[in-house]
Amino acid sequence: MPFFKITQIRSAIGLPKKTTGVLKALGLRKRMATVFHPVSPQVAGQIMAIKELVAVSEVEQALTKSEMRANRRPDPGYYIETPASEAFDARI
């Protein structure tokens, strides 16, 4: 199921209450916040109302907040070796 990945790029400070309401309805509270919504005419209409404030892309999978955070995490640069005997036991 395709999703819209919506990221708020510009702030809604100084804009009409209606605009702020649409952002709130989509779950966008501050700049650079990202939400996922299924592709539907309803959501598309909401995006049309705030098209100047957001960046949108179409993705196959919706990510949770913790998954997005894990994706941003840099490679630690090391890995922990397991003794061959333990690895062998784990396989059995």
Site residues for another protein, 51-70, by CB under 8 A, read 51-52, 54-58
State the greatest distance between any 2 C-alpha atoms of the chain, in Å, as a whole number: 65
Strands lying side by side in the sheet with 34-38? 34-38, 3-8, 54-59
Least separation, in Å, of the C-beta of 35 and another protein?
15
How far, CA to CA in Å, does 21 sit from each of 15, 17, 54, 69?
10, 6, 14, 26
The pattern of x and - marking residues 21 through 40 that bind another protein according to CB under 8 A reads ------------------xx
Judged by the rule CB under 8 A, the positions of this chain that interact with another protein are 2, 4, 9, 39-41, 44-45, 47-48, 51-52, 54-58
